[in-house]
A and B are shown apart, each in its own frame.
Chain A
Amino acid sequence: MAGRGRGRGGAGAGAGAGQLKGATWEYDASIQLESKPADLFPKHPNLRKPAPITTKERREIDNFKKLQDQIHRGPLYTQPTKRDPNAPAKTFGEEQFNKQFGTNSKANMDPFHGVETYSMRYAPKQRTLPKLSDQPFNKTLFPEELWSTLEGEEGQEVRNHLNRAMERKEAMLASMKAAENGAGSGAGNGADNGADKGAGADASAKTKILLEKIHKVAGDEDNEELEEEQDAEDVDDAYEDEDLGEDYNAEGYFDDGEDDQEDEADGGDENY
């Protein structure tokens, strides 16, 4: 009896359980044990309506949802990079686990819907790396090897490059007073936008066109300059303005996967 152990887990009605160790009775063909689903989804024994949500549970759920919403808006959340957006829910089986993630979402971009459109400008920004600069850290509580990451020293050179690019952009922008101006600071301006929604529509349309041009310029240049830099795209994500940039990235860094690869410990098989 002990041989069955606890490890069996689950309802335990696994395949091997068919033999009953101690059959104290004669075989009775009329006894039917529920087994062998004929259909994929045999009739469920009791689908019932759950008890209504109590006021306490209502508070707890609201707390939870509100917290989750805040976390997702906050700097630490990273969006999914699922290669196939229509794939079923997440798998955590040992084998398939890593395969389900794209190493670079841009490389798998849908050319029709993936490009940022005007109407998408209010969509929450997609982030694949947490934006650590927006969160206070007590460095001493972290292992030393992470300190540079926390301080944003990492890729300092990259930043220098970007800064130069930004300077150029800013020079062009300097003449304009656009709503999106503050973007580079890292503080999102959702509510700003909300406030300006009506009045600023015209202005932002113009700005948009202009900015696109700017990005083209900056992007192309950066692309050349940063070719040997690692993880340039990610740096961009971390330091670049959040409301702009999907198209910019797409054009600029579709070769990014290779960059990543240099950083892989085992070279990785990226091209599954």
Chain B
Amino acid sequence: MVSSSSAPDLAGLATRIYDELLPLQKEDSYIVFHQNDIFDLDIIPSDPQGNHDVNLALRVLQKLTDEKLLKVVHDPGMGWKVRTREEALKYRGLTTEEDLVYSYVDEAEDEGAWTKNIKSRSNLHEAVIQAALKKLKSRNLISEMKSVEHPARKMYIKSNLSPNDRATGGPWYTDGELDTVFIDTIMNTLFDYILKKTFYFSKSYGGPMKKEPKKVIKKMSPEEARAKRDQVLGAEKSEEELDEKSKRMKYYEKNLPMPAGYQAYPTLDELTVWIEAHKFFTQTLTASDLQQLLDVLEFDDKIEKVFIASGGLAYRALRKSMLNEDDRGSVLNEAPCGRCPVFDLCEEGGPVGPSNCEYFNEWLLL
């Protein structure tokens, strides 16, 4: 080891190192500097054989750490992160205990620190920790946070950070609560887009036949004709509704499927880009965010996956998803028995049975 001619300028070296590191840290907040990184800056002088002056380096770094400009982290092995000068200021004037507590909260970053963890790691007394937390809070250094993952835990986070996705639950949570309204809005937006891209609306489609076969008219036997007339005469009220429904069904039938092997169904990428481009939502939604909602739409039986030639997956809407609820209900629920609240009790001769059934009374008059 070669001794230097003069005493090293610790303060100068420290400033130079700090000024080099700070921009790097700002560029990437996750970066951690190690001993080699410090030497690579070529600020700490080395001997002609290229040996670094480890001792000097340690002294410089210790000085920066003391000034709270550097923070020691274990990442694995010892490393440092850089604080801004304002940040460093906050650390000054803290007691050792407060400093320790603050550093745990700091280290936890955007995940937040659980008080129980602070206690077990610091080995401080509960009262000391509470006092420290109170002080830190009053100085606006830390704030309480809620984690979606662990709603019961008392957690703290540095005031200038916001909780990460795991704690907030990602874009789907607002204030720690699942934002179902938001979710439904996006799902509907996605679904509408997929639906539009799934079917071909044919204005001219009028049914399977080239022309109305005359058979339909001729075939009606007298009873059928009568039955039909009865239906009209007997149920005038229903006619309008019936018409509405048949209109609806006609429209529905005009939505034709695309041919097998159709490649232009929307893919996840297409949907992601489209959502982003149209700025429907202030939040940025990633492909994996949207994937989750597409999965839900699949569970809801509104869309399904299709394999396309590019080897990817695309989505198309299911035909029945166009029907409203009345038109797609189960046959079993048409009669009152389907969802009868007292069906288990229903037995002729019992208190509730077909002969005194009020639901049937009402239903038969519908």
A–B contact (CB under 8 angstroms): yes
Which residues of A does B touch, CB under 8 Å?
10-11, 13-14, 34, 37, 40-53, 58-59, 62, 88-91, 93, 96
Q: Return the chain A residue nearest B226 by Cβ.
A: A62
In B328-344, which residues have CB < 8 Å from any A CB? 329, 333-336, 339-344
B interface SS class: helix
Say yes or no: B224 contacts A58, CB within 8 Å. Answer: yes
Q: Return the chain B residue nearest A44 by Cβ.
A: B359
Q: Would you call B362 an interface residue if the criterion is a C-beta within 8 Å of the partner chain's C-beta atoms?
A: yes
CB B323 to nearest CB in A, in angstroms, measures: 12
Residue picked from A37, A47, A88, most chain B C-beta under 10 Å: A47
Distance of A89 Cα from B350 Cα, bound (Å): 11
Say yes or no: B353 contacts A37, CB within 8 Å. Answer: no
Q: Would you call B227 an interface residue if the criterion is a C-beta within 8 Å of the partner chain's C-beta atoms?
A: yes
Distance of A44 Cα from B333 Cα, bound (Å): 11
Question: What 1/0 flags go to B335-366 for Cβ under 8 Å of A?
Answer: 11001111110011101111111110011001
Of A45, A49, A52, which is within 8 A of B339 by CB?
A45
- Supply 10 further A-B pairs (C-beta < 8 A) apart from A44-B336, A88-B356, A93-B347: A14-B344, A42-B342, A45-B339, A46-B333, A46-B339, A51-B245, A52-B231, A52-B238, A58-B228, A89-B353
Residues in B whose Cβ lies below 8 Å from that of A62: 223-224, 227
Say yes or no: A91 contacts B344, CB within 8 Å. Answer: no
Say yes or no: B359 contacts A41, CB within 8 Å. Answer: yes
Q: Would you call B326 an interface residue if the criterion is a C-beta within 8 Å of the partner chain's C-beta atoms?
A: yes
Question: What 1/0 flags go to B205-242 for Cβ under 8 Å of A?
Answer: 00000000000000000011001100100000010011
Say yes or no: B353 contacts A44, CB within 8 Å. Answer: no
The total of Cβ contacts below 8 Å across the A-B interface reads 78
Say yes or no: B349 contacts A96, CB within 8 Å. Answer: yes
- 15 A-B contacts, Cβ less than 8 Å apart? A13-B344, A37-B342, A40-B342, A41-B342, A44-B362, A45-B341, A47-B362, A48-B334, A49-B238, A51-B334, A52-B231, A52-B242, A62-B223, A89-B354, A93-B347
Distance of A50 Cα from B364 Cα, bound (Å): 10
Residues in A whose Cβ lies below 8 Å from that of B238: 49, 52
CB B282 to nearest CB in A, in angstroms, measures: 34
CB A94 to nearest CB in B, in angstroms, measures: 12
Say yes or no: B341 contacts A88, CB within 8 Å. Answer: no
Say yes or no: B336 contacts A40, CB within 8 Å. Answer: no
Say yes or no: B352 contacts A40, CB within 8 Å. Answer: yes
Which residues of B does A touch, CB under 8 Å?
223-224, 227-228, 231, 238, 241-242, 245, 326, 329, 333-336, 339-344, 347-349, 351-359, 362-363, 366
Q: What 5 A-B pairs are tightest by C-beta distance, nearest first?
A: A88-B355, A50-B334, A49-B366, A41-B358, A89-B348
Distance of A43 Cα from B359 Cα, bound (Å): 9
CB B334 to nearest CB in A, in angstroms, measures: 4
Say yes or no: B343 contacts A10, CB within 8 Å. Answer: yes
Residue picked from B227, B351, B362, most chain A C-beta under 10 Å: B227
CB A62 to nearest CB in B, in angstroms, measures: 6
Distance of A216 Cα from B202 Cα, bound (Å): 79
Residues in B whose Cβ lies below 8 Å from that of A59: 224
Say yes or no: A58 contacts B227, CB within 8 Å. Answer: yes
CB B297 to nearest CB in A, in angstroms, measures: 25
Of B224, B344, B355, which is within 8 A of A89 by CB?
B355
Of B336, B344, B353, which is within 8 A of A11 by CB?
B344
